[in-house]
Chains A and B, each alone.
Chain A
């Protein structure tokens, strides 16, 4: 072989094993999954498996279940991430100042993150159960509920149950990452701002927030994708009900695939969810780039 050609190819030989491995474990399942979306694939129907083109996607346009799940996905994701972020930031700010037994409190605060999602879903379902849990009675006492009943069985309110569990469960993630980012801001920048005439609020707005912005952008994006895909709490707490009122796209996909066993249609919905999340991630990246690389 020509020596220069060999030299040119050399780096590709070195990287080939990793690239092949990545392709095998990431791309192959992805492509396989996507290909299901264009096939009629029902597990219990041996005659299924034909190529159906875009039929599933046309079907989706008229599927009320899909549109409800899409709407719920937006509410579920937006509310959960917004509350997780807000409480997480407040917690990080509180933990960033010294107080006695701070190490212990930090460890305790991060505890929910260590609880499996499945377990926290069960616990919260019990908390909302008026027979054994206190929450309905407290909500009633506060005048938020007319009668102390289970909000998980009320189609108008049921989604708030899993959202509450999700917020509780997801706060530590934001608290950990934002606390780490806060601790990396040099103290003397705050001191310089104080000397420059900025009070605490202004220091937060003009120093803390801008310096946290890159971390905020990346964690909010990560969590949004994560939460949008996080069906566990809904499946455990409401099973998507009552009457599909709390389905989000990922739990709807789970229901379609493993209860109706319609893998083809489930894959088509999954493909749509994937596209939506990719579009969202791309938008955040563009926004972040525009914010940080201002000339």
Chain B
């Protein structure tokens, strides 16, 4: 178990910065998700921690020790790769023993460690097989097993579930989470999948364009996104963003209709245009006479409820509802945004205003 500290870490491959001045403290035993779209620098950051790349600037410390110049093999970190990177010429047992053999542990100890890890992951019957004789899910487990037998200072996961089908992914999400609870080891988990980040992490580090956008618990990021990027990245269906104008007394006007009320943020004059963020599940349907009148465009049934695509003039928004009232495209319905639902953003900088 370890703490990992990044101070002002940057990386530049020569074609402009990939990571810019990053500060991050990963606490002992914590499960941290590095989340962002592809190209945001999250994998690069993980590889810097692993030692597979060298930072162009700044400092990386593991348990207080500076590791910028330390080779990956001497950092005592375990990594699970997206491709699993199993040794194709070795059996599952040999794959899992490889790191322990490098440390010259006694064979009996290696055998015990490998078999304990295998039984934890349900790999006991597969120990003598080669990777090519395993299914995708089994290979994923071997990759996990190879990491846990080592009892490393920290686990690094590089999108480990992205090659699995949806069902297996959900199961492995649960198993990785359970393993983390049992082992209590510091874990850094790279993903572009907001559901993985939300469900698994103690804290999420939202990354975009090589910079940290926000760090916090999943619920915190969901409820209080710092900017448009974080607000739009988390949640499915994603948050609605509408062009709105602030009217006197905190009324938010969209396409000439008052959609919601907020207590007016300090320093914002009436007439300011801003971006109004509304989560689809925070909105409710009512009769057209009571709420803002909007037109139903498309209705999608999800089983738990319905996602209703609505048109408000030229602007579009989505609403998630479990309301059973009949809805058909073309219907005019009332829309209600309860107090607390609206989030306000600066349309130019994307920063949160309220």
A: which residues have CB within 8 A of B?
186, 188-189, 191-199, 202, 206-207, 210-211, 213, 295
Contacts and interface: CB of A to CB of B under 8 A. Distances in A.
A22 B61 CA distance: 68
Interface in B58-86: 71-73, 77-79, 81, 83, 85-86
Given A188-B81, A210-B89, A194 B146 contact: no
Interface string B78-102: 1101010111110000000011001
A266 to B, nearest CB: 45
Nearest to B89: A210
A202 B83 contact: no
B98 A195 contact: no
Contacts of B86: 189, 192
Nearest to B52: A191
Contacts of A206: 87, 98
A189 B51 CA distance: 15
Contacts of B150: 196
23 contacts: A188-B81, A191-B50, A191-B79, A191-B85, A192-B79, A192-B86, A192-B146, A194-B51, A194-B72, A195-B50, A195-B73, A195-B77, A195-B79, A196-B98, A196-B102, A197-B99, A197-B103, A198-B98, A198-B102, A206-B87, A206-B98, A207-B87, A211-B89
Given A188-B85, A207-B87, A196 B146 contact: yes
Nearest to A210: B89
Nearest to B150: A196
Contacts of B102: 196-198, 202
A196 B83 contact: no
Interface of B: 50-52, 71-73, 77-79, 81, 83, 85-89, 98-99, 102-103, 128, 146, 150
Given A197-B99, A197-B103, A198-B102, A192 B85 contact: yes
Contacts, number: 60
Contacts of A195: 50, 52, 72-73, 77-79, 99
A211 B86 CA distance: 12
Contacts of A194: 51-52, 71-73
A46 to B, nearest CB: 62
Given A192-B79, A197-B103, A211-B88, 18 more contacts: A188-B83, A189-B88, A191-B52, A191-B81, A192-B87, A194-B71, A194-B73, A195-B50, A195-B73, A195-B77, A196-B146, A196-B150, A197-B102, A199-B71, A206-B87, A207-B87, A213-B89, A295-B128
B241 to A, nearest CB: 38
Nearest to B73: A197
Nearest to A196: B99
Contacts of B85: 186, 188-189, 191-192
A202 B73 CA distance: 11
A192 B73 contact: no
Contacts of B88: 189, 211
Contacts of B87: 189, 192-193, 206-207
B101 to A, nearest CB: 9
A233 to B, nearest CB: 37
A197 B75 CA distance: 9
Contacts of B51: 194
Contacts of B72: 191, 194-195
Contacts of A295: 128
Contacts of B71: 194, 199
A17 to B, nearest CB: 37
Contacts of B99: 195-197
A83 to B, nearest CB: 27
Contacts of A188: 81, 83, 85
A295 B130 CA distance: 9
Nearest to B75: A195
A198 B81 contact: no
A208 B77 CA distance: 23
Contacts of A197: 73, 99, 102-103
Nearest to B128: A295
B73 A199 contact: yes
B156 to A, nearest CB: 8
B73 A198 contact: yes
A197 B71 CA distance: 9
A193 B98 contact: yes
Contacts of B81: 188, 191-192
